[in-house]
Amino acid sequence: MNRISKFQFTALLLITDLFSLCCCFGGISLGTLWGILAGTAVQYLAAMCFAVQGGALKKWAQVFFLVYAVFSGGALFVSLWRTRSAVYIPYEASHGIWGSLMTAGLIALVCLYASSTGIKSVTRAAVIAAVMALLSLSVDLVSALFNAEWSNVSLPEKRGLLGEILRGFGLSGSLGSMAVWLDSVKGDKSKALTAYFAAKAAAVTAVIVTVLPVVGGIMELTEFPVITAAQLSQPFEAQRIDSLFLVVFSVLAIFSVTLQVMTGAYLFGELLPRFQRWRSFTVIALVIGAAFIINGRELLTVRACAAAAALLIAPVGAKKSAAIGSG
């Protein structure tokens, strides 16, 4: 396995979390922020239990995380398809079954190319993508700080803390990849996890603090508050950032699905060493198939339970003999 730095590891995982947050469906409030942050703290503690084992997985655990990667990739495709009503795609046939196939096919080609370059090359590109996304977020945040209605921040909470924690787990699509790729991180793995979860908490806080004052007044009317906030933001007098957001959103979507495909392909190769040639293609086919099967279903609870299972299985399925913090 190629070695990656803790910053590359953080960027790779953070991209999926940002994309999932962009695709967040339904109203959000300050309770959403507290719930996601509480869930992130729980995830961090569970991940540290895995890190002290060394970060390598047993075969039976690899089987679980292969299935989880396929499911997570399918769920990300569904999230992308679901947002087509809110994100402008400049192609008249981008909706319906043919639009879904077109989107899946284009992303599949990118995933095949990325898989052929290896995890190290993808993580280098992920750092650039993450920086671009965070810069875009910063522009939005500054705009919100100066132009928004702060009275909208005190919106009533509907889900309750437990419901928001569950929502936060459901939006955490990178936990499986975290368990798989942690063993490839150079140096102290606990520091890599600390960097990732700290960055995740900061990014979630920035996004929700941006969204609430911008969209709070019309929260009941919008299905995707994060996307709506990006579309309504006008940091410059003569130009909104719709086009910039579309570019960032597309990059996040591609990297998110690519991460799940590469995770599944790597595990496929570990479990079936003789089946190396077609592993990426096989995983992509499974991911797209899973997406069509689960399309149209509300999967937040299922995704949350799967994420919780990943956190529980990772330390149990770790190889006890792996050296802590090996480089």
Q: Which ranges of 171-299 would DSSP assign to H, the alpha helix?
A: 175-181, 189-215, 225-232, 242-271, 279-294
pTM of the model: 0.87
Task: Please list the ranges in the chain whose pLDDT falls under 50.
Answer: 92-93, 238, 321-327
pLDDT in tens, 37-57: 999 999 999 999 898 887 678
3-class secondary structure for 62-73? Answer: HHHHHHHHHHHH
Cβ pair 97, 292 in contact under 8 A: no
Q: Tell me which residue of 309, 312, 308, 315 sits closest to 39, measured CA to CA.
A: 308
Q: What is the pLDDT of residue 243?
A: 67
Given this model, what pLDDT does residue 325 score?
41
Can you give the pLDDT at residue 39? 93
Instruction: Look at residues 106, 59, 107, 129 and name the one whose alpha carbon lies nearest to residue 260.
Output: 107
Q: Which helix (H) or strand (E) holds 129?
A: helix 119-147
Give me the sign of the Cα torsion angle 51, 55, 61, 67: positive
E strands, 91-158, where?
Answer: none
187: left (phi over 0), alpha (psi -120 to 50) or beta: left
Other C-beta atoms lying within 10 Å of the C-beta of residue 39: 24
Q: Domain 6-316, what architecture?
A: Up-down Bundle (1.20)
- Whole-angstrom Cα distance, residue 17 to residue 327? 26
Cβ neighbourhood burial of 257 (10 Å; 0-12, 13-18, 19+) = buried
Q: What is the pLDDT of residues 231-266, one digit of tens each?
A: 776 655 545 556 677 788 888 888 999 999 999 999
> What are 92's two structure tokens?
């008249």
What pLDDT score was predicted for residue 219?
Answer: 75
